Amino acid sequence: MTEEQLFKNRHSLSHIMTMAVLELYPDAGLGVGPVIDNGFYQDYDLPESISDELLPKIQKRMREIIKQGIEFKKYEMDFDKALDQYKDDPYKTELITDLKAAGEASLSFYKSDWFENLCKGPHVDTTKEIDVVSFKLTKIAGAYWRGDEKNKMLTRIYGVAFANKEDLKAHLKMLEEAKRRDHRKLGKDLDLFLFSEKVGPGLPLWTPKGTALRNVLDDFVWKLRKQRGYEKVEIPHVTKKDLYETSGHWEKFKDDLFRFKTREGHEFAMKPMNCPHHTQIFDRHPHSYRDMPQRYANSTMVYRDEQTGELHGLSRVRCITQDDAHAFVRHSQVSEEMLKIWEIIEIFYKAVGFEDLKVELSFHDPNESEKYLGGPEVWETAENALREIVKSKGVEAEEKPGEAAFYGPKIDFIAKDAIGRTWQVATIQMDMNMPERFDLNCIDENGEKERVVMIHAAIMGSIERFLSIIIEHHAGAFPLWMSPVQVRIASVGESHTDATLKLVNELSMQGIRAEADVSDATVGAKIRNAAKSKTPYTIIFGDKEKEGEDFQIRVFGSEEGVVVAQGDLVKHIQEKVLEQQG
């Protein structure tokens, strides 16, 4: 089955589902119902709350409708007639009015038996084209009309659909595995992070173990950056709006910011990104061509006023920690500098368990130039430069028009996790617009001003979002080098408590993340608790260990242990860490 046919199937299933829902609730209001990854959804304004228990009934009726072989027929209608026909339907009226304002020539509708709906299409010619066992309704959720929390909350019904029963079965199996790996559940089970109603939604709090995990990853990125000439900088969490007006962010994102006024009447915002601040550090004094590149690294939080209904665990939060870095370079240095960042990405993602990264080129959409800063010549120059860099690496890269940042094109890296899902992770962005807007230069060999290029480099991007991915990829069983607790020492009895605590302290002093279990639990229970916490190494400390005999290390996920002399434990762990980091 082609992607086009699968799209038609999914879109048509959204209409068929609506037919089944309207039989149950004839007066239901209809929101939007698009095709999404792997399926579809439809929003409804229903007279009562419904639960997932209703889904099998709706699904059964959908299959009955499909077997009838109903045709989908398209027709067009002018705006005035449509507005008159749907004057009592606030949802249709709003959509039609917006389409008219956008300059659409006419409206398209699709009719299937007694049901008709405003829709761009496309759809199947007849429901006979749809396999009745290739789809499943999956869940019910709340969704604000048009994504605006000021609007009414609607009922959204989700479904998945595939070309055949086998593909559906494989997807449902993946969903079950995803549920088992859900970072929100594992974050609680492994005591990594939490959310507090008193603090507010989308604002995670990090426990000692979760903070250790964050720091280990960030420290590794910093180590790789430091080796390539980066220097750490720090910036405040608030700024006057003037900075973002100059950068262009205010016009684009002012409605997404946490904004406030000072007692003196100045308008400030919690920073939603770091790049404009870094321009000011670069511009603090003149730079000779001999000083270039200038490289700044800064892991710091930024803030976005996300809608409550769109928040999801660590995947979508209101405070985002960016492992941000910016290099200010000459045009002749762009390729070399971006390849250095690419090297960091390859090393880091191999270490965290993603070896084969797909590469995409995110370019601007020339048909919507108003969305971007800078003229067509600037974009053409930047995009051609990225093409050459990808070519020099000998990799294939899909070009994605319309996916660029508003200030410049990007090289995006896509990872596939343990259960087959793909995630956009690292990104390298070339920015010729910010230096133009802030008048950033260096002095060239002839004593003349030379406009610089700004390169944005995020390895993890949002550390919160990255951790949601990595927790689920490893199902919480992190490799030794990044695990918040690398080794757990469990005492056999009370007579071993002091020696166990002393060993943990000695390991900690030498940089090993160790913890003790000196509880009254049995040895068997301690072993099970260590496995439950997914600790990479567990050592049972008893009489033999107290007398100095070799450590018998239990390795999580392996039936084979490791025997290490007590004096070699630190060296063994350090060597394993370096081996895993590559």
Nearest to 484 by CA among 102, 126, 209, 185: 209
Active-site entry in 410, 473, 488, 526: 410
Kindly report the backbone phi and psi dihedral angles of residue 260, in degrees, each rounded to the nearest multiple of 5, phi listed first: -155, 160
What count of Cα atoms within 13 Å lies in the side-chain half-sphere of residue 319? 12
State yes or no: is 456 an active-site residue.
Answer: yes
Beta-bridged to residue 363, according to DSSP, are 401
Token pair recorded at residue 197: 């109603």
Alpha helix (H) ranges present in 38-164? 55-67, 79-85, 90-101
The whole-angstrom separation of Cα 581 and Cα 488 is 21
| 167 Ramachandran zone, left/alpha/beta (phi>0; psi -120 to 50) | alpha
Active-site entry in 10, 11, 209, 326: 326
The whole-angstrom separation of Cα 208 and Cα 77 is 61
The whole-angstrom separation of Cα 484 and Cα 534 is 10
Token pair recorded at residue 415: 């990872």
Nearest to 440 by CA among 458, 429, 455: 455
Identity of the amino acid at 145 = W
Active-site entry in 42, 294, 322, 486: 322
Active-site entry in 183, 287, 364, 456: 456
State yes or no: is 322 an active-site residue.
Answer: yes
Count helices and strands (H / E) in the chain.
18, 28
Identity of the amino acid at 60 = K
Token pair recorded at residue 378: 């600037």
Are the CB atoms for 126 and 70 separated by under 8 Å? yes
H or E, element range at 530: helix 523-532
Are the CB atoms for 514 and 486 separated by under 8 Å? yes
Burial 201-211 (b: 16+ CB within 10 A, else e): ebebebeebbe
Token pair recorded at residue 177: 């595995």
CA 511 to chain centre: 31
Are the CB atoms for 458 and 298 separated by under 8 Å? no
Q: What is the 3-state secondary structure (H, E, C) of 206-226?
A: ECHHHHHHHHHHHHHHHHHHH
State yes or no: is 326 an active-site residue.
Answer: yes
Token pair recorded at residue 221: 């990125």
Residues with Cβ within 8 Å of residue 446, at least 6 apart in sequence: none
Residues with Cβ within 8 Å of residue 408, at least 6 apart in sequence: 374, 382, 429, 430, 431, 432, 433, 434, 456
Active-site entry in 275, 277, 488, 496: 275
Output DSSP code: residue 174: H
Nearest to 424 by CA among 321, 336, 337, 354: 354
Burial 388-401 (b: 16+ CB within 10 A, else e): ebbeeeeeebeeee
Tally Cβ neighbours within 10 Å of residue 10: 23
Say if residue 293 is preceded by a cis peptide, omega within 30 of 0: yes
Identity of the amino acid at 63 = R
Active-site entry in 181, 183, 304, 496: 304
Q: Which residues are catalytic?
A: 275, 304, 322, 324, 326, 410, 456
